[in-house]
Amino acid sequence: MKLLIVDDEIIEREALKHFFKSNDLGIEVVGEASNGLQAVELNQALQPNIITMDIRMGILDGLKATECIKRDNPQVEIIILTAFGLFEYSQQAIKNRVFDYLLKPVEEKELISAIEKVKRHIRLKVKPLQVNQRAKLFDLNEDTLEYKKNDELFKDNRISKIVNYIMDNLEKDLTLEILASLVHINTSYLSRLFKSTTGVALSNFILEARIEKAKFLLINQQKKPLKIIAEEVGFTNIHHFSNTFKKLEGITPTNYRSMGKGAV
């Protein structure tokens, strides 16, 4: 993924370039800017996936630059890296829809974690033109977990049949071969059809469905052991379940359950 570094201190920019060069994170630094105005211009020219943004800079500060950049390129994800933890700064950053807000000096493991999270977020995002069509795949309420069965995106009977099967069999091994055989098409065509219809890869849909069901069970069945919940959503290894849950939700299943106790 392409990354743009924005910081008025050359030492900071060089340190970040060295960091990304030294760590195999799948990140290509495509440019650097020393102020917000340059950042806005380079964003338009380079179309990066990720921007690391300082706040206090000359000509145009990082928060104003973020606002301009998000207006021009809503898909870009911005991570604020600043030495200033003022409440009004973080409040404005949230308003500008930044992905993360990190205080300098940032520990290497903290920055690696933030980069991995933003990469996962970008991979799971749908294309802009498909956002309204896809909306939200799942409705989660106090009684049940269900996908939007009447949504336009399921008008293809084959897709509807596959989604029905997935939602009814989350505890099973949902291979591409099994799903393709249900509607009598080959696996390659199914992958293309599902992605073009829903805006999300089939494997990601299954993973999201498993985690959404797990979230429902964690909140609504507080006494059910994590191991049983993991098995009911298709994970044979509880450690794999916990790691996957944390990667997607940014929190462990145990902590998620604790946070939701008051909502039950």
Pairwise CA distance, residues 175 & 228, whole Å: 21
Q: Sheet of 77-82: strands edge to edge?
A: 28-33, 2-6, 50-53, 77-82, 100-103
Q: Are 35 and 83 in contact (CB under 8 A)?
A: no
pLDDT beyond 50 at 142:
no
Question: Can you give the pLDDT at residue 119?
Answer: 86
pTM above 0.85, yes or no: no
CATH 3.40.50.2300 boundaries in the chain: 2-125
Q: Are 5 and 28 in contact (CB under 8 A)?
A: no
- Hey, is 151 helix, strand or coil? coil
80-95 confidence digits (pLDDT tens):
988 876 666 666 666 6
pLDDT beyond 70 at 152:
no
Give every CB contact of residue 206 below 8 A, 6+ residues apart in sequence. Answer: 166, 174, 234
Mean pLDDT over 141-153 rounds to 46
Q: Tell me what the pLDDT averaged over the chain comes to.
A: 82
Share of the chain above pLDDT 90, in %: 43
89-135 confidence digits (pLDDT tens):
666 666 667 888 888 888 888 899 889 888 887 776 544 333 333 33
39-61 confidence digits (pLDDT tens):
999 999 999 999 999 988 878 88
CATH number 3.40.50.300 given to 2-125: no
pLDDT beyond 80 at 2:
yes
Pairwise CA distance, residues 209 & 140, whole Å: 11
By mean pLDDT, which of 93-97, 162-166, 236-240 is the weakest?
93-97
At position 143, the amino acid (one-letter code) is D
Q: Which is the CATH superfamily of the domain at 131-263?
A: Homeodomain-like (1.10.10.60)
Question: Can you give the pLDDT at residue 224?
Answer: 93
CATH 1.10.10.60 boundaries in the chain: 131-263
Mean pLDDT over 148-153 rounds to 47
For residue 225, whether the previous peptide bond is cis, meaning omega lies within 30 degrees of 0, is no
Question: Can you give the pLDDT at residue 72?
Answer: 85
Question: Can you give the pLDDT at residue 192?
Answer: 92
Share of the chain above pLDDT 70, in %: 81
Mean pLDDT over 64-93 rounds to 81
Question: Can you give the pLDDT at residue 150?
Answer: 43
The alpha helices in the chain, defined as continuous H runs, are 10-22, 36-46, 62-72, 87-95, 108-124, 131-134, 157-168, 176-182, 187-198, 202-220, 226-232, 238-249, 253-259
Question: Can you give the pLDDT at residue 30?
Answer: 94
